[in-house]
A and B are shown apart, each in its own frame.
Chain A
Amino acid sequence: MRPLTDEETKILFEKLSKYIGDNVRMLLERPDGLYTFRLHRERVYYCSEAIIKYASNFPRKELLSFGTCFGRFTKTRKFRLHITALDFIAPYAKFKVWLKPNAEQQFLYGHNVVKSGLGRITENTPKYNGVIVYTMNDMPLGFGVAAKSTIECRAADPMALVVFHQADVGEFLRNEDALT
């Protein structure tokens, strides 16, 4: 377990700000305690000070996980955001996408979202920006990347892709072992 280096922190923040923009600050400055990021086996964990102190008592090989895993760094130092971060990202989301009930299942199986499944989308979503995917009942389903900006979405034909799938809550069943 170790704190992130400056480059790693930068890469992490860049990825997070794609989804929540400036609200990354909220993750760092919390009124209910000091929360921070730690790196363990190339995975980034978000946890409170107390948890870190407990977790540091375990040998590295035996420590599986602590706090919340946000994602992991790949071999070439790119950051991949995991679905386990949804609980923290969803409240601060800047750009949201709401899915119709029939499209929900497709998304939860890991497919991209088609225009016909799109319920609502926030205004002025830039193209290729990170979005949080919700059901019509405002329940977060996962992350995505806007394949088209809001304006383009309106003009698109029903079979065109509007959101690229990044992570969804169905992964808790499909990729249990990969998540820690």
Chain B
Amino acid sequence: MTSNDLVKSILQRDVDEQDRILKSTEVTKPCPVDIDLGNLLVWDPNVVDQQAYKENREEYIKNTMRDNMQLFVNALWQVPIERHDNAVVAKLPDAKTVVPREKPVPKPKPLTKWQKFAQSKGIVKRNKSKFVWDETKQEWGRRYGYKKANDDTKPWLIEVPGSADPNEDQFAKRLAAKKERVAKNEFQRLKNIARANKINVRNDGAIINKKSSTNDVKKALATAKYSDASMGQFSEQAAPDEARQTRGFSKKRKFESNLGSLKNEKNKQLKLFEQMNSSTAK
């Protein structure tokens, strides 16, 4: 063999070797790797080669990563495969490793007044049908909600009962009764919420024993301050840094002085204009 041919054959051999390594899907590891396809997890218990790691960290990590990925992809192709419109989909098995809860266990909600009563009496909820037969319209309509069947408030004729005042508007009466029922339901819903969150609410809606937040106190202070005849100008400071604390809560707005330095004003306005233009230019 001539030296030229020899060189060529050596180079070819190297190229083949490289090809073989690149195209190989075989990976051998001293300790078998644990693959959890359900979680897309590869758990590699092999001992880290300390020397190789110290020599070239990035290279070592890349190689181990590549090997593990290869094993993972091999396992992925073992799993039953479906094809949907040119997309190959693998059906993953259930997850093996148990992952801890992300959020804490939800607390049981306190029962509403009705739920408590139903529990004590042993009343069981019976699911009603969503649609009812409307005799007048001769069709099925919703039991409740938009355009419900047998809507009480929408008759074209209401007979005035014998005992009623002839000048009373029966239609308005029915509408008012409906509004009353809706309001009552809303009220009871809110009472349930208050009871669940342990907020003491009085009849008129005011909250008893309410612990004021800091913002409430600041607002109250600011309000009290400007509630006197001179709008709090001559009142003492309640705290040394009161002005800072109550900054957002006082009613009176502060403006620049009318006869202040006009040159400063001009500069400020020019700067504002520049700012406006630069932001709009972006």
A binding-site residues for B, Cβ under 8 Å:
1-3, 5-6, 9-10, 13-14, 17, 22, 24-25, 28-29, 34, 36-38, 49, 52-53, 56
With contacts A3-B256, A5-B255, A25-B270 known, is A10 near B262, CB below 8 A? no
Please tell me if the beta carbons of B255 and A3 are within 8 angstroms of each other in the complex.
Answer: yes
Return chain B residues, CB-CB under 8 Å to A14.
Answer: 276
Return chain B residues, CB-CB under 8 Å to A52.
Answer: 258-259, 262
CB-CB nearest in chain B for A37: B269
Interface of A is mostly: helix
CB-CB nearest in chain A for B254: A5
CB-CB nearest in chain A for B255: A2
Q: Report the count of interface residues on B (CB-CB < 8 A).
A: 16
Report how many A-B pairs have Cβ atoms within 8 Å: 49
Please tell me if the beta carbons of A13 and B262 are within 8 angstroms of each other in the complex.
Answer: no
Return chain A residues, CB-CB under 8 Å to B255.
Answer: 2-3, 5
CB-CB nearest in chain A for B261: A34
Please tell me if the beta carbons of B258 and A10 are within 8 angstroms of each other in the complex.
Answer: no
With contacts A13-B276, A24-B273 known, is A56 near B266, CB below 8 A? no
Please tell me if the beta carbons of A3 and B272 are within 8 angstroms of each other in the complex.
Answer: no
**How far does the Cβ of B43 sit from chain A's closest Cβ, in whole Å?**
59
Kindly state the separation between the CA atoms of A2 and B252 in the bound complex, as whole angstroms.
14
Task: Report if B119 contacts A (CB, 8 A).
Answer: no
Return chain B residues, CB-CB under 8 Å to A13.
Answer: 269, 272-273, 276
**How far does the Cβ of A66 sit from chain B's closest Cβ, in whole Å?**
12
With contacts A10-B276, A13-B276 known, is A28 near B259, CB below 8 A? no
Please tell me if the beta carbons of A38 and B258 are within 8 angstroms of each other in the complex.
Answer: yes
With contacts A14-B276, A22-B277, A34-B263 known, is A9 near B258, CB below 8 A? no
B263, B266, B272: which contacts A6 (Cβ < 8 A)? B272
